[in-house]
Amino acid sequence: MRAAMLEAEVGDDVLDGDPSVRALEAEAAEWLGKPRALFVPSGTMANQVALGSWTRPGDEIICQRWAHVTTFEGGAAGFLHGLQSMTLGGADGRMDPAEVAEMVRPNFIHCPRTALVCLEQTHNVAGGVVVPMDEFAAVCEVAKERGIPVHLDGARLANAVVASGRAAPIWTSLVDSVSLCLSKGLGAPVGSVVAGDDDFVERAMRVRKRLGGWMRQAGLIAAAARVALSDNVQRLALDHALARNLAERLDALDGLEADPGRVETNIVMVEVSRSGMSAADLSSALGDRGVKVMPIGPQVLRFVTHCDVGQADVDTLVAAATEILAP
Ligand SMILES: Cc1ncc(COP(=O)(O)O)c(C=O)c1O
């Protein structure tokens, strides 16, 4: 990846184009099964470009209660685009299609316009689960029947592709726009894409410009993102197997509960309440022993495997947790 960056052909993407960025956008569009894709610096910007492209201020979006787009993007939907969120569903990452249908606003002057339905695949807060195809498709169908576009936050769509055995276009053919992170599990240092049809991408280019996300000699980072997409998708299966191994081994320790059966991809949620420690204290004690992990609730730690984590790192984690939890 470093070598590809060093050798990257670059131009000025804001003027007459950067060849490496264009190549990445074409390859990502093809992988995603969409006519066009745009390169942006982050997954948050990819989602926010999509939101800004589909909506007008005062509109409402429907998304899952713990969707990244409404929970972890700093209130950007409201701050940047004047949107409010109707959040549905529970901790499992799913939305009930009947509830989505019920919450689409009537064409009534007192109500906001329901402008967009957002899905997330895999679902982060639900522990990297793959939303099952029948439920995913049913929500898309409800939106389609009502003429409402669907955006897929596919930050980890590649993990869903590998875990489900369904190629990206099988998922994305049901939605109108999709974002994909080339960083995170795919290992690029920076970068995401947002994809859709020509009309969508024309609007998205304006929003990206407004947000300051159109980059000049971006071929240096696009080159890394191209390697991420071409070389690092299939190896995600290794991360998934390692995550399951991590869950099994932590679950075996007194005081920790991880449900290996729920680990479908590269995220492991670990409940720590029986340890007598808070997630924050345990995270800090693990940090002192060289293991970085994020508390995602008062009693829950969220572990993630990726291309820079191997079996030896899991061994280090298990040894550190064993030492901390020793009576
Ligand atoms: C589901 C999901 N979408 C979007 C993002 C945002 O990505 P970034 O951190 O690149 O802005 C994340 C980040 O964790 C995520 O989990």
Residues in the chain: 327
Query: Of all protein residues, whose CA lies closest to atom 8 belonging to ligand 1?
Result: 43
Examine the domain organization and report whether 260 and 143 are in the same domain: no
Pocket of ligand 1 from Cβ distances under 6 Å: 42-44, 47, 68, 120, 124, 153, 155, 181, 183, 192
Spatial separation of the C-alpha atoms in residues 27 and 320, rounded to whole Å: 42
Closest CA relative to residue 218, chosen from 13, 69, 31 = 13
Residue whose pair of structure tokens reads 């070598």 in the numeric block: 3
- 138-155 mean pLDDT: 98
Query: What is the band of 143 on the pLDDT scale with cuts at 50, 70, 90?
Result: very high
CATH number of the domain at 96, please: 3.40.640.10
CA of 52 relative to ligand 1 center, distance in Å: 17
Examine the domain organization and report whether 44 and 148 are in the same domain: yes
Spatial separation of the C-alpha atoms in residues 297 and 271, rounded to whole Å: 9
Domain of residue 16: give its range.
2-231
Examine the domain organization and report whether 222 and 241 are in the same domain: no
- Residue 146 token pair: 């009502």
- What is the widest separation between alpha-carbon atoms in the chain? 65
Examine the domain organization and report whether 217 and 240 are in the same domain: no
Q: What is the pLDDT of residues 190-210, one digit of tens each?
A: 999 999 999 999 999 999 999
Neighbours of 287 (CB within 10 A): 12
Residues 6+ apart with CB under 8 A from 312: none
Q: What is the CA radius of gyration of the chain?
A: 20
Residues 6+ apart with CB under 8 A from 213: 40, 41, 45, 49
User: What pLDDT is recorded for position 173?
Assistant: 98
Q: What is the pLDDT of residues 289-309, one digit of tens each?
A: 999 999 999 999 999 999 999
Query: What is the band of 91 on the pLDDT scale with cuts at 50, 70, 90?
Result: confident
User: What pLDDT is recorded for position 327?
Assistant: 81
Task: Indicate the number of domains in the chain.
Answer: 2
Residue 179 has pLDDT above 90, yes or no: yes
User: What pLDDT is recorded for position 90?
Assistant: 82
CA of 326 relative to ligand 1 center, distance in Å: 35
Examine the domain organization and report whether 196 and 275 are in the same domain: no
Q: Which of 231, 264, 292 is the last residue of a domain?
A: 231
171: alpha, beta or left? (left if phi > 0; alpha if psi -120 to 50): alpha
**CB neighbour class for 205 (10 Å; exposed up to 12, middle 13-18, buried from 19):** middle
CA of 219 relative to ligand 1 center, distance in Å: 22
Residue 256 contacts residue 327 (beta carbons within 8 Å): no
Residue 266 has pLDDT above 90, yes or no: yes
Q: What is the pLDDT of residues 20-72, one digit of tens each?
A: 999 999 999 999 999 999 999 999 999 999 999 999 999 999 999 999 999 99
Query: Of all protein residues, whose CA lies closest to atom 5 belonging to ligand 1?
Result: 43
267-271 β-sheet, strand order: 267-271, 300-304, 294-297
Query: Of all protein residues, whose CA lies closest to atom 13 belonging to ligand 1?
Result: 43
Examine the domain organization and report whether 164 and 197 are in the same domain: yes
Examine the domain organization and report whether 270 and 201 are in the same domain: no
